[in-house]
Structure 1
Amino acid sequence: MRTFGIDGLTTHFQPVVDIDTGRVVAHEALSRPFVNGAPLAPDRLLHDAYERGEADELDSYFIEAALRAAAARGLLSPHSLFVNVEPISLVNGFITAPLLSAPPLVIEITERALTADPGALLTAAAALRAAGHLIAIDDLGAEPASLALLPLLAPEIVKLDMDLIRRQPDRTAATMMTALASYAERSGALVLAEGVETAEHITRARALGASVAQGWHFGKPSETAHDAPGVSVRRSGQGRHSEMRAVDPIEITPFGVVSATTALRTGDRAMLVQVSILLEERAAAAGDSAVLLSTFQAEDNISENTRLRYERLIESGCLLTAYSTGASAALPHPARSVTVDDDDPLAAEWDVVLLTADYAAALTAREIDTSRHREGLYEFALTTDRDLVVRSARALLSR
C-alpha cells in the first residue's frame, strides 16, 4: 500500500566535518523517496503534498523515518543529527510528536521561513528549544532580509547557502561575511558551509567564518554512516565559539524594552513624524535587506501620505509589517498588516523598529496626556543599540 503516492523511502546521511581536524562531528539526514524502485525527487513530492494540503503529514513521515534510520546506525548522540523541518509545519504550529520526544537534535529551518511568518517561527523555535534541540538556519544568503531577521531567531548554527561558497567574491559575499562575523561574535553561533567540493571552497568557507562544513569533498550522502560521531556539532566549535546565550523572553512592548535602559525625552508629533520618515528612508535605502515594523495606535493614524510612503517602501523590497487597532492597515502584498486589540499595551504606542544587516534603530513613544491629544506631546526614546532593537522586534512579532 502506497503512502503519499510513493512505495517508501530510504534515509541517507551526509557527514558534517570539522574543517580543521577533518573529523566527522555530525550527519544530516536526507530523505530519498522512491516509486517502483526508481528515485523520486523530494522537492517534487513536497510540492505535490503542499498542493493537497498534506505537507505537515509528509514532513512528519520523513522525520519519523529519519529518526528510525539514525537510531539503527547509532547516530543519535546529542546534537549530532541534522533533521530538516518544512517551514509550513512550523508556521502552522505543527511539530511532529517524535521531535518533541527525540534525543537532542539540530533542527534545520530554511531561511524562507524567516520571512514567511516570523512570529509563528519564533513560537515554534521556542518549543523545539524547550525539547532540547538546537536551531540551524539553512541556505543563509538566499533571502536578503534574512540577515536582518537572524538575531530575532538567534539560531545556534548558521548554514551558508552553497552559492556563497562557490561563486567569486562580490559585494553580497562581503556583506554576508561582515554580518555573520558580527552575529557569530555576539551569539557564539557556529557557521557551517554547505556544498564544499574543492580545496578552494574550503578556503572561501573559512573566509566566511565557517568552522564546520559538508559537501562531496568530505563525503557523499549514503545509507551507511561515515562515522558515528562521538562529539556533537556544538562541542566541535568549543574553543572557537562561546556558548549560545539563552534567547531573551519576549517582552511586552518596544516601549517597555527600550525605556527600561534608555532615558526618555519629550517631543511633539511633528518631530516624531520626521524621525519616523528618516528611519523609513534608511529602510528604503537598504531595500530587500531591511525589516521595518511600525505601530500606528489607531488605523486612522495611517494618513494618505503615510500609505504612499509605505507603498514605496514595499516597492523597494523592504519586509514591512504595520500594527494598528481597529481595521487592518490593509497594506499591499507582501507587507503584513496586524490588528492589535484595544486593551493591548501596544495600542498606546508609536513604534518604528528597523533592522538591516548592518544597522538597527528603534523609535518608541507614548502620548503624555491623551486628553490633550491636540497638543501631540509624547515621551519617547530613540536607540541604535542592536540588542534593544532586536528585543523590540521580538515584542512586536510575538503578536
Structure 2
Amino acid sequence: MIQRSTDGNPAPSEYVCHAASEHGACPSCANGERLGFRFSYAYQPIVDLGKREIFAHEALVRGPEGEPAPSVLSQVNEDNRFRFDQAGRIKAIKTAAKLAMQSRLSINFMPNAIYRPELCIRSTLEAARAHDFPVERIIFETVEGERISDAKWLAEVLREYQRIGFLTAIDDFGAGFAGLNLLADFQPDIIKLDMDLIRGIDQSRPRQAIVRATVAMCQELNIQVIGEGVETLDECSALHDLGISLMQGYLFSKPLFEACSQADILVWPNGLPR
C-alpha cells in the first residue's frame, strides 16, 4: 500500500510507521510522552433505552486534572497530531480497562492523522491485548468537528478498521463533513446524528422528517443510529417515537472524569415503553 496523506501526497516520513515490525507497533505510536503535555479521559455513557442498559461509553479527552477538552486540543498541531492520535487510543483503552468497563468503548480518532491504517492500528491492537480489552467491544468514531479533506480516504480507513474487527461509527452525521456521499462509499456499524438535528426536535417537523428518513435508510443498510446531545425528556421522547433507542447526552449523564457509569445508578426517563 502507498504511504500517503489525506491530500493524496506521500505521507511525511516522520509520521509513517517505518519501525513497525510484523508483530509490533512503531515506537512513535506508543511513546505518548513525546507529546510534551499530559491528558486523560472522561467517559460518557451511550444508553439503550429499550434494554435499560449502557450500550457504550465514549472516551472524551480532558486535561490531566479534568480540565476541558480545549485545554488539550489547543496543543495539538500538524507536528504532533499523529502522535496524539496514537497515544490517545492507548490511553483510552488503558483507562477503560483499569475501570473494569464492561460496555463497549467508543474512541474518537483523527482521520487526517492516519496514513497507513493497517500499520498504525497495531499500537491499538497491542494495547487491547495488553489490557485484556476485547477488540470487538471497541468502536472507532470520527472525531467531532474535524474537517474530512478526503471522504474516500476516510472510507478506506474505516473499512480497514472494520476488517480487523473493530466497530465503526460516523460522528456528527448531517453536519456537512459526514454525510450521504461518505455513506455511499462506506456503511459503518453506527452513525451518530449531529446534536444540532436533535436540539428541539420535539418542536420541529423538519428535524423530525429528516431523522425519520435517516432512520429508515439506516435500517435498510443495517446501520444503528445514535441520537447524541439529548438534553431534555421531550427530545428523548421524540427520538424514541422516531425509532431511536440508542441515545447520549446530559439527560442521562455528564461525562465522568476517569470513571464510568453503571446502568443501575442512571436516572432512566419514565413513561417510555421498553
Do they fold alike, i.e. is TM over 0.5?
A: yes
1:192 corresponds to which of 206, 211, 226: 226
Shift of 1:19: 1.6
1:54 corresponds to which of 75, 80, 83: 80
Gap runs ≥5 in structure 1? 230-399
The question of whether the paired residues in 2 share the 8 Å contact of 1:113 and 1:121 is answered with no
Q: Give the corresponding residue for 2:18.
A: none
1:113-143, CA deviations, whole angstroms, 9 ceiling, x for partnerless residues? 6852122112211221122111111111211
The question of whether the paired residues in 1 share the 8 Å contact of 2:147 and 2:177 is answered with no
The question of whether the paired residues in 1 share the 8 Å contact of 2:53 and 2:263 is answered with no
Q: Give the corresponding residue for 2:160.
A: 127
Take 1:145 and 1:220, find their aligned partners in 2: how far apart are those partners? 25
Q: Give the corresponding residue for 1:225.
A: 260
Q: Which amino acid counterpart does residue 4 of structure 1 have in structure 2?
A: L
2:149 corresponds to which of 110, 116, 123: 116
Q: Give the corresponding residue for 1:302.
A: none
For CA contacts below 8 A with separation 6 or more, give which structure has more relative contact order: 2
Q: Does 1:73 align with 2:73?
A: no
1:26-76, CA deviations, whole angstroms, 9 ceiling, x for partnerless residues? 211122124xx572x4345334422x4211111111111111011112226
Using structure 2 for the length normalisation, give the TM-score.
Answer: 0.70
Greater strand proportion: 1
Q: Which amino acid counterpart does residue 20 of structure 1 have in structure 2?
A: G
Inter-CA distance 170–227: structure 2 relative to 1 (3 Å threshold)? closer
Using structure 1 for the length normalisation, give the TM-score.
Answer: 0.50
Inter-CA distance 182–113: structure 2 relative to 1 (3 Å threshold)? farther
Q: Give the corresponding residue for 2:123.
A: 98
Larger radius of gyration: 1
3-state SS of paired residue (2:35): coil
Q: Give the corresponding residue for 1:107.
A: 140
Q: Give the corresponding residue for 1:153.
A: 186
Inter-CA distance 165–132: structure 2 relative to 1 (3 Å threshold)? same
2:170 corresponds to which of 133, 137, 149: 137
Map of 1:207-218 to 2, 5 A cutoff? Answer: 207-218=241-252
Shift of 1:217: 1.5
Q: Which amino acid counterpart does residue 167 of structure 2 have in structure 1?
A: L
Shift of 1:170: 4.6
1:88 corresponds to which of 103, 112, 119: 112
Q: Give the aligned CA root-mean-square deviation in angstroms.
A: 3.0
Aligned-residue identity in percent: 30
Inter-CA distance 190–160: structure 2 relative to 1 (3 Å threshold)? same
Q: Give the corresponding residue for 1:372.
A: none
3-state SS of paired residue (1:49): coil
Count of aligned positions = 222
1:202 corresponds to which of 236, 259, 262: 236
Gap runs ≥5 in structure 2? 1-31, 129-134, 265-274
